Amino acid sequence: MTDAKNRDAEMLEEMRWAVEHIEFELDEVNRVAFEKNVSKQASIAFFIMALGDAAGNVSRRTKNAHPEIPWDDLAGRRYRPAHRARDYLSQDAAETWRFLKDRMPKLARQLRGVRPAPAHP
């Protein structure tokens, strides 16, 4: 396996790990409880940062092989909690909830089938 393929396999596993933990944190939590619970929001923000960081480190070759994954959106989501934590936790809870409930289940299913692209097509 090439270095890029190894890195992609590692980053994809990191993404799956983050999604699994997000799903665990969301289990039996409704929107109102989420918006009131800063500890829950902070925990999920950590996993969103891990998810986004890993998505940003997947090779262009693998990203191009799996256009169904919103790579750039996921990578961009890393920055808001990392660089604007107070605003993120106080103002973005509703938007984060929508992202988690509307897109996370589909993303979890999609990631199960993603494998690193071969080094040479």
Residue boundaries of the structural domains of the chain:
3-112
Grouping H, G, I as helix, E, B as strand and the rest as coil, residue 116 is coil
What local confidence, expressed as pLDDT, does residue 82 receive? 59
DSSP string, 74-100: HHHHTHHHHH-HHHHHHHSHHHHHHHH
What is the rounded distance in angstroms from the CA atom of residue 41 to the CA atom of residue 67? 29
Q: Give tens-digit pLDDT for 9-18.
A: 999 999 999 9
Phi/psi of residue 24, nearest 5 degrees: -60, -45
Q: Count Cβ neighbours within 10 Å for each residue of 24-61 and write b for 16 or more, e otherwise.
A: ebbeeeeeeebeeeeebbeebbbbbbbbbbbbbebbeb
What local confidence, expressed as pLDDT, does residue 83 receive? 57
Q: What is the pTM of this model?
A: 0.86
What local confidence, expressed as pLDDT, does residue 1 receive? 47
| Spatial CB neighbours of 78, under 8 Å, sequence gap ≥ 6 | 48, 49, 51, 52, 53, 55, 56
Instruction: Evaluate if residue 71 carries a pLDDT over 90.
Output: yes
Band of residue 121 on the pLDDT scale cut at 50, 70, 90:
low
Q: Give tens-digit pLDDT for 73-96.
A: 999 888 766 556 666 565 577 888
What is the rounded distance in angstroms from the CA atom of residue 78 to the CA atom of residue 81? 6
